[in-house]
Amino acid sequence: MTPDVSRPAGPFCSTAPLILASGSPRRQEFLKNLGLDFQVLPAVIDETPEPGENSVHFARRMALEKACQVAGIHPDSYIISADTVVTVRDRILGKPADGEEALAMLTALQDTTHTVITGLCLHHREKKITELQTCSTEVTFARFPETALRAYVATGEPLDKAGGYGIQGIGGFLVRHIRGSCSNVIGLPVSQLVTLLLHHQIVAPCPSREDSL
Ligand SMILES: Cc1cn([C@H]2C[C@H](O)[C@@H](COP(=O)(O)OP(=O)(O)OP(=O)(O)O)O2)c(=O)[nH]c1=O
């Protein structure tokens, strides 16, 4: 593989075959920034909550199902998967189906605090390793006129994102306060993930980086 010279080398190196079971460009970017070599293999699963299922259970179940599906094809690799949902007043908000649903989600989040929950899974079928964790972040939105929300939806940014916004992009204007991991809101609790990867010795600090100080 040709190294990407425009990107500074990340602080870690992979020590085992690693698969990201996600089509999310944000999750891919996080792993690239860490310096990891990995393959991308998005899982295709039914992402519908069971009746009465709470958000934490749902996000964990989705992350586990994504990992297990890809493990069926690659039982000899470590698989990372995640699922991010927004929850407000006991409702689970996934990705909006269209602009109208995105607007309804953003309206429900106005001037209030919601929780962003990510289920994170690290799985290796042959080694019988399944780590399933949760990360929660509280996000408080300001209030804006409906015309502003409509104009934001028209940018197209909300459509592939849970809750109908992207904190890392234009949607940053919606957020008055955040408590907890920001990377978690963007789809991957990176600090928690690196702790897991180091614990299982799947990544190591990159020796060339350590020596170049
Ligand atoms: C709230 C919020 C969500 N998101 C994204 C993170 C996730 O990619 C997405 C939630 O959908 P997910 O179903 O978690 O992930 P995905 O469909 O993008 O990818 P895959 O199912 O293949 O793993 O919303 C942001 O990028 N910024 C935000 O501020």
Q: Which of 70, 84, 82, 83 is nearest to 124 (CA)?
A: 70
On whether the CB atoms of residues 150 and 158 are closer than 8 A, the answer is no
**How many angstroms separate the CA atoms of 190 and 196, rounded?**
10
Structural domain includes residue 83: yes
Best mutation site among 19, 20, 22, 24 for ligand 1 pocket (most ligand atoms within 8 Å of CB): 24
- Per residue in 147-170, pLDDT (tens digit) is 999 999 999 999 999 999 999 999
How much is the pLDDT for 9? Answer: 81
Instruction: Provide the token pair at 67.
Output: 């990992």
Residue 1's pLDDT band (cuts 50, 70, 90): very low
* pLDDT at 52 > cutoff 90: yes
- What is the ipTM for the molecules in this complex? 0.98
Structural domain includes residue 129: yes
Domain membership of residue 124 as a residue range: 12-206
Structural domain includes residue 4: no
Domain containing residue 136: CATH number: 3.90.950.10
Catalytic residue selected from 37, 46, 76, 83: 83
* pLDDT at 211 > cutoff 70: no
Structural domain includes residue 1: no
Average the pLDDT over 169-186 and give the result: 98
* pLDDT at 129 > cutoff 90: yes
Domain count, the chain: 1
If one compares 9 and 38, the residue with the highest pLDDT of the two is 38
Residue nearest to atom 23 of ligand 1 (CA): 22
**How many angstroms separate the CA atoms of 7 and 32, rounded?**
9
pLDDT, averaged across the chain: 94
Average the pLDDT over 104-130 and give the result: 98
Phi, psi of 39 (to 5 degrees): -105, 150
Structural domain includes residue 161: yes
Structural domain includes residue 211: no
**Can 83 be counted among the known catalytic residues?**
yes
Average the pLDDT over 97-110 and give the result: 98
- Residue 152 CA to chain centroid, in angstroms? 22
Structural domain includes residue 5: no
